Every structure is written in C-alpha cells, then in structure tokens.
Structure 1
Amino acid sequence: MGSRMVTAVVTILLARYIGASDYGAFSIAIAIATVMAYFTDAGLSNTFIREATKPNINIDSLVNSYLKIRLCFAVVSIIISFFIIHFFYDDTNIQSLIGWVVYPTIIGCSFMGVGVSYFQAKESMGVSTALNVIQGFSSAFGMLFVIILNSTILMAAICFSMSYIIAGIVSIFLLKREKILFKGWTKSILDNFWLFTINGIIIMLLPQLGPIILGKVTTLSNVGYFSTAYKIPSVLYQIPGVIATAFYPRLFSLGNSGNIKKHRELSIQELKIMSFVGILVAIPFITHPDFWISLLLGQKWEAASKGLSILAMIVVLQSISYPLADYLTTIGKQGTRTLVIFITFIIAIFAYAVLGDKYGVVGGAFAAIITEVSLIIGYSFFNKKYIYHFGKSIKWNVLSFLLCLIISKFFSITDYVLLKIILLETIYIGIVLLLDRETFLTIVSFIQKIKKKRIIL
C-alpha cells in the first residue's frame, strides 16, 4: 500500500513537471498498456485461485499451465498492440511513447502476475503484496529520476514499463524458491474461463475508458486534468481494496464447499469493513478538493479540482460494489456478474462520449460516477434475496458519511483545512463505532487476523 502511495505522489509530481498536455498523452499510453497487459491474464488469475483452493490439487502442474497460457496471451497482445498503435495514432512521437510503455509492460505483467496469483491463493498476502511493492517503488524511483535529471517524457515511459520487467524477474525467482517444478498440465484451469475473461476485460476497461474516450472527444489538456484527478481516488481505493484481496480466497473456499451461510456472513463482514474504510479515506478529498489539488499540483491545475470532488466518490461506491460483486463470483454466479458489467460497460461508453464532449473534465467525472452507480444497482438486483442484510450492515457507515458532508457544507468548524479534515474524520469514526458495535468488533477482528498473517498494507 505504501508503494502505491509513493507511486501516486511521484506520478502527480511528474504531471506537475511535464504539464497537462504531455501528461494527457502519457495517461493515454498507460491506459492502453493496462488494457493490453490485462490480456496476458484475461481472467486466468480467477480460475487459478479457484483451482488452487481446491483440495488435492497438483500445484506444480497448475502453475505451469497458468504460466504457459499467459505467455501465449502475451505474444498475441504484443501483436495486437502493434496494430493498434500504428492504426489509431499518426504522430510518430505518440507511437513511440505508447510503444515504450506497452511492450515491456506486457512482458513484465506476464511473469509478475503468476507470482502474485500463486501467493494470493496460498493466502501469503505479504509476498503477493511485496511483488506489487517492488513494481511500485521501481516505477516511482524511475519517474523521480526523470524529474531530477530534467529528462524527457519518453524516458518516463521507459522507467514506468521497466518496473514491470523487474517485478516479473523477482516473481519467477520467488516461485523457484517455492520449488515449483513448472511441469504438467491442468486443463481445469480453463473451465468457465470465458466468463471470467469477459468479466475481467470489462472490469479492466472501465477505469481506462475515461482517458481513451476523452482523448477522442476533448483536448489533451482536459485528458490530463481528468487523469490526474482520477489517479487520486484510484490510489485511495487500494486501501479498502487490500481488504477485498484478503477475503477473496476464503470466500472462494466457502463457495466451493457450499457453505452458503458462512459465505454470506463473511461477505457482509467484507462489505462492512470495506465501506467503512472507503468512506474514511474519501471524505477529505470530497470535502476539500481545492486544497489537495493546490497542495499536490499547484494553482495551474485548479481545473482538476471540480473533477476530484466528484471522482473521490468512486472510492465510496467501489467499496460497496466490490463486495457485492465478489459475493456473486464466489458462489458460482460469474455469468450474472458478467451480465451486469457488460450492461454497465455500454452505459459507460455513452456517458463518457456524451458528457465528456459537452462538459470536459466534469462531464468525464460524472460519467465515472454513473458507471459505478450502475454496477451497484445491477449487483443489488441479482442479490435481491440478501440485499436487505447487505444494506442493513452498512446503514451506519452511510448515515455517518452523509452527516459529515452536511457538516462540511453548512457549518464552519474552523478556518484551518487540515484541522477541519481531522475533525470530520473523527466525527465519522466516532458515530460509526459508537452506534454500530458489530462493525467495531468486525474491524478489530480483521486487524488481528492481518497481524497474524502479516499482511503488508
């Protein structure tokens, strides 16, 4: 988690250094790289974890199958990337920038992803997180190096993508230390793979739609403002996102065994904790976006502040939607989740195209919110049997959040922004833990489990 924070800060400093237009181009390159790198996995990590949590599985054969398929996908991704870069972009500088970001990222992700999924399935969250830490810090140090040496945006692209190569090498080294033999074939890894593929592709595309579509309907500067504002909540979500990662293997295990009652109870715990933490980290950025934009980027980036105030709500919405989605996935209703995401994907394309074209950064921000709300509505519709229990479990979190927004809007607590933020956070925590003892006990229990398993936050 610390690595993502460092990476986010350095990326924001890079944006401040290179300006909105160049950062807009860099954001488009990263968006394309993220899309194409995903195709080296295409949902395999989900089927891998599903199979790895089954009893009596041959882990050597499973890991070997996973790696071979990912490498085949990587070759296809590189070929497709080449045609996309040279067909959709005429500027040779843009082509070069995207190429240097995309190709190494695809290769690095192929190897890095195997290690991350393996250790996640083993519930060795410390090792799994360490690989992300290595990638994050490598990227951060590389871009900081670019800023200090007053280097070019192309060098920043190279430093960004090489961080995945480094993490990929470390991943294979760690798997070798686990005495993985890399032999055999487990065909069950491909069972219902296509459902996870469709679902995963759309999940991966949703956060990348903003830069990609806005790049076609508005200016590069607006893309830069939007991408910078979006970067902050996307990093903030990693905090509650770590919680989802910790719950995922256990939910799959209960789902595989058919223990629906305990599975539902665990899902409610996940929703309670994630929504509590998600709201907690989002409040400062929803209530005081101008302060954060000015602090991190300077007055020249003031146009991004309105977008940030809206986009920060994504952290709250995703902290609710992800547990609902995980519930469906881990009880074998992946097809249902895929249907919801597909419908939302269509809505998102129209929202970004129409609102982005008409309202620029603010329009793009509202399109992102429409996307997340659509997901929650869809998941709730297919969770009708238990949605009352899910809703009841987070009522105090939501009510406390709304109260904090009202206080921030209509009451002048103090003129000091940081002090006001601290007071709002204290009010939120106090109300939730005072009125909802179950949430308090759930959080304490989860923290104790984290310490026991030494999960790196």
Structure 2
Amino acid sequence: MLFLRKKFPQIKKSKIAENTGWMLLGYLSKIGLQAITFIFLAKELGVEEFGMFSSYLAVVGIIAPFVYLGAYNLVIEDISKKNPVSRAIGNNLVSSLFVLPLGVFLVIIISFYLKTPIIISIFISIGVFLGGVLISINKAVNISLGTLKYNTYLEVLLGVLQLFSIFLLTIFNGAVIEWSIYYMACYLLTGIIALATLIKKYGRISFNFSGVRNIFKVGIHFAFAGFATNGLSDIDKTMITKFSSVESTGIYSVAQRITSMAFLPMLAFLGAVYPKFVNFEEGGYLKSRRIAFKILPLILAYSLIIVIAIWISAPFIVGLMGKEFEEAVKAVRILSFLLVIQGLQYPFADALTGSGKQKVRTYGQVFILVLSIIINMFLIPEFGWVGAAWTSLICQLIFLIILYVVPIFLKKKNYFGF
C-alpha cells in the first residue's frame, strides 16, 4: 500500500480520487444489491429457469451495442469537444431510438432459432435497449462533467427496484415470465428518471441530422466492439443452451455473475480514469498507453488479491443458492482467472479507444469473438460449461497479447494513423 502511495501520489490528490470514490460507492452499492437479488433470484427460479433467463439476457446483451451505437463513449467525446450537452444527449438518443425496433426484431429471430419463448426476450430487450441507453447516456454526461455522485444514485435506484421485484416474485410465486416483466419495468423506470434528470439540469434535448448521421458512421465501430465484447462474455451462454442444456447454462451463468461482480470495484477506477485516455492530438495513443502502464501495478495487485478471495469463498457463496448450483464452485474458480487477464486488457483497450484508434480494438475483438465461437462449437457439445470456461480463458489471453503487441506493429508500419 505504501508503494502505491509513493508511485501514484497524483491519483490521491487529483479529481480522479474523488471520482473513483463516487464510482466505487456506486459499484459497491450495485454489488451489494445485485448480490442479494442474484442469490434470491437463483433460489426462486431454480437452475433451469435461471439458466433460461441468463440465455435470454445473453442474446439481448449481444445485440444491445448495435442499439446503443457507442452512446456512452460518443457523449463523452462530444462534451470533451465542448459541444452542448443537450445536443450530445439528443443526437445519441435519436440514433439509438431509430435502430431500437431492428434490435428487438433481431432478438426475436435469435430466440426463435434457440426455440425459447419469444415474449420473454421481447420484454427483456425493451428494458435493456430503451432503459439501458438512457441510463448509459446519463452516466456518460456525469463522467464528462465530474458529477459522478449521480451515477451512484442511479445504481442504487436500479438495484433497489430489482430487489423489490424479487420480493414481488417471491410473494406471488412467479416464474421466469413474471421476472422478465419486472426486469423490463426496473430498467424503463430508471431510464425515464435518468432522462428527466438530464432535461431538468441541461434543458430540453435537441439534435441535428448531421450529428445523427455522424453517430451512425462512427458509432458502428463502437457497436462492433461492444458486440464483440458482449459476445465474448455472452455467446457461450447461448451456445451452451443450444448445444448442451439450460441447467449447464445456469451453472455457468452463476459463476460468470460472481466473477463479474468481483471486478466491479476495478471498473469503478477504470471508469474514472477513462477521460485521461482521451487524447486525439498527434501521438495521442502513446500518451494514453503511458497512462495504461502507470496504472497497471494497481490493477494487477487488485486482480490477484480478488482471485485468491474468490477461491477461498466460492463454496460459501455458491452454497447460498442451494444444492442445485453446487457444481458452480468449480466454474467460479476457473473463471476467476479472467479477472487478471481482463484487468490487464482494459487500460490498453481504453488507450486505443481514447486516442481515436477504436477500429483497431474492434477488429481485435471481432477476431477473438469468431475464434471463441469456433472453439466453443467443438468443446461445448463434448464438455458443456467446462469447455466454455476454458475457451473464455484461452481467447481472452490471446486478446491481451493482441492489445500489447499489435498496436506497436501498426505504429511501425504507420497503419490507421499511428
């Protein structure tokens, strides 16, 4: 700890410390509320219906980036370029609303292919697409203007609403169909409040067609990047459902949820630091990359500590959900190593995005997604969730290598304006 204080004194004294504190508080609130919701939901639905819901959510998560069109990043970029806040909000919101029906239609098609009830996927997609983009835009504005406490309020609001929904689910003995309705309602209500807050603070939102057209041009790179990122974490769940069983999906989803919640505090820090990666001037990528190296020891230390903690506590955490999920202990321990790999990925991926080299990140993520699908097609039918877990580790490690090595090669060859 003393080493970190000596190495990063500017972090302690700067605005980053305050922003990280607010984001950490938000994420900790999210962790606590989600953990309670997650445990009770798993117990209430059981391994099969929980696996079914996770499969629906995975499909929606894969499509969502094409609805959001990089709204979070583009709002931050617009505001950093001194564009009016109301215009940044409006342009990104209008572009998302334009493609939202297409996103819902794609979810319906995939659900039909998976032979799962379509109505559930519609409820979840409407909540995540519409409520999610409103929440994302609100968070981006707060990140840009340093008002991160409002992001914390949103996290708490969404968490409390979901916890109340679990209470309703238990009282009325509901199933996955009822939970999908509650889930949609939670996101929509939070999104509406997020939008109302923005309008109250920054005035009526506005947009122009040239700005919307530009979002479609630039946002498609963020869409494919988000598609690849979400695909890497979610495609395996849909493939397990298709080629193995929903019970295996439930086991794998529990493990993934536990490890992802463990990484949330680090995401708070990375989210607060992200504006520092925004360097569009000449040589901007090298400046952003230096920031990545500077924060790497902190990320590595946290990741290693949390992996050890997960290995020790996995039996207790999984045990809270009942004997049906007992096999998830092994899954949690395997997937915990992703925390180290992804922790090392994020700073260098953000360095690419923040310096205007998003397409490099996107191409790497799409390549890894394709590789993941190919490997999973061979391993999941044979090994179920175990094959999916090892595929995730292999592919994320390859992507880490790509992020470290490929940009240096491209700089030497002067590709993509490096």
TM-score normalised by length of structure 1: 0.77
Match of 1:74 in 2: 100
Change (3 A) 1:124 1:190: farther
The alpha-carbon distance between structure 1 residues 130 and 382, as it changes in their structure 2 partners (threshold 3 A), is farther
Q: 1:260 to 1:199 in 2, by over 3 A?
A: closer
Q: Does 1:204 align with 2:230?
A: yes
Post-superposition offset of 1:323: 0.9
> Match for 1:196: what amino acid?
F
User: Could you say which residue in structure 1 is the equivalent of 2:150?
Assistant: 127
Q: Contact 2:296–2:347 (CA<8 Å) still a contact in 1?
A: yes
Give the root-mean-square deviation of aligned CA atoms.
Answer: 2.3
Query: For the Cα contact (< 8 Å) 2:199–2:205, is it kept in 1?
Result: no
Structure 2 residue 313 is the aligned partner of structure 1 residue 263? no
Offset from partner CA, 1:47-101 (integer Å, 9 cap, x none): 22222211x323322221111111112122123333333x32545xx22332332
Range 261-270 or range 235-244, more displaced: 261-270
Aligned match of 1:143: 166
- The amino acid across from 1:63 in the alignment is I
Identify the residue that residue 325 of structure 2 maps to in structure 1.
Answer: 301
| Structure-1 separation of matches of 2:140 and 2:235 | 26
CA 328–285 in structure 1, closer or farther in 2 if over 3 Å, else same: same
The whole-number CA distance in structure 2 between the counterparts of 1:354 and 1:89 is 18
Q: 1:6 to 1:335 in 2, by over 3 A?
A: same
Tell me whether 157-166 or 272-281 shows the greater mean CA deviation: 272-281
Q: Does residue 240 of the first structure (1) align with residue 266 of the second (2)?
A: yes
Structure 1 range deviating more: 123-132 or 257-266: 257-266
Query: Runs ≥4 in structure 1, deviation > 6 angstroms?
Result: none
2: CA distance, partners of 1:149 / 1:283: 39
C-alpha contact 2:248 2:384 (8 A) present in aligned 1: yes
The whole-number CA distance in structure 1 between the counterparts of 2:230 and 2:38 is 20
The aligned residue for residue 218 of structure 1 is 244
| Pick aligned residue for 1:280 from 305, 313, 318 | 305
Structure 2: how far apart are the matches of 1:133 and 1:269?
31
Q: 8 Å contact 2:349–2:361 — kept in the other structure?
A: yes
User: Which letter maps to 2:159?
Assistant: G
Aligned length: 380
Structure 2: gaps (5+ residues): 1-26, 410-418
Contact residue 104 and residue 122 of structure 2 kept, 8 A: no
Match of 1:19? 46
- Note the C-alpha offset of 1:341: 0.8
Larger-Rg structure: 1
- Please name the residue that 2:179 is paired with: 156
**Does residue 178 of structure 1 match 2:188?**
no
Q: C-alpha separation between the residues in 1 aligned to 2:184 and 2:281?
A: 37
Pair 1:103-2:129 in alignment: no
Verify the 8 A CA contact 2:232 2:369 in the aligned structure 1: yes
3-state DSSP of counterpart to 1:84: helix
Pick aligned residue for 1:117 from 140, 143, 148: 140
**Helix, strand or coil for the counterpart of 1:192?**
helix
**C-alpha separation between the residues in 2 aligned to 1:102 and 1:284?**
34
Q: Distance in 2 between matches of 1:26 and 1:214?
A: 13
Q: Distance in 2 between matches of 1:315 and 1:133?
A: 24
Q: TM-score, normalised by structure 2?
A: 0.84
- Aligned equivalents of 1:96, 1:335: Cα separation in 2: 35
The Cα offsets for residues 360-412 of structure 1, whole Å up to 9 and x where unpaired, read as: 22222111211211210111112448xxxxxxxxxxxxxxxxxxxxxxxxxxx
Give deviations 1:198-251, integer Å, cap 9, x for gaps: 212211221111211111110111111111111101111111111111011221
Q: Which moved more, 1:4-13 or 1:16-25?
A: 4-13
- 8 Å CA contact 1:23, 1:224 repeated in 2: yes
Q: Percent identity among equivalent residues?
A: 21
The answer on whether the counterparts of 1:123 and 1:249 sit within 8 Å (CA) in structure 2 is: no
Letter of the 1:282 partner, please give it: V
Does the 8 A contact of 1:218 with 1:360 survive in 2?
Answer: yes
1:251 alignment partner, one of 277, 287, 294: 277
The answer to which of 329-338 and 280-289 deviates more is 280-289
Query: CA shift at 1:39, angstroms?
Result: 2.6
Distance 1:351 1:5, change over 3 A: farther
From the superposition, tell whether residues 178 and 256 of structure 1 become closer, same or farther in structure 2 (CA, over 3 Å): farther
Contact 1:239 1:277 in 2 (8 A): no
Deviations 1:387-438 (A, max 9, x none): xxxxxxxxxxxxxxxxxxxxxxxxxxxxxxxxxxxxxxxxxxxxxxxxxxxx
Which residue among 361, 365, 370 is the counterpart of 1:346?
Answer: 370
Query: 2:359, 2:195 → 1: CA distance?
Result: 32
Q: How far does residue 287 in structure 1 lie from its aligned partner after superposition?
A: 4.4
1:251-281 per-position Cα deviation (integer Å, ceiling 9, x unaligned): 11x4447566653442223323222222222
Query: Deviation at 1:166?
Result: 1.1
In 2, distance between residues paired with 1:129 and 1:208?
A: 26
Distance in 1 of aligned mates of 2:62 and 2:181: 18
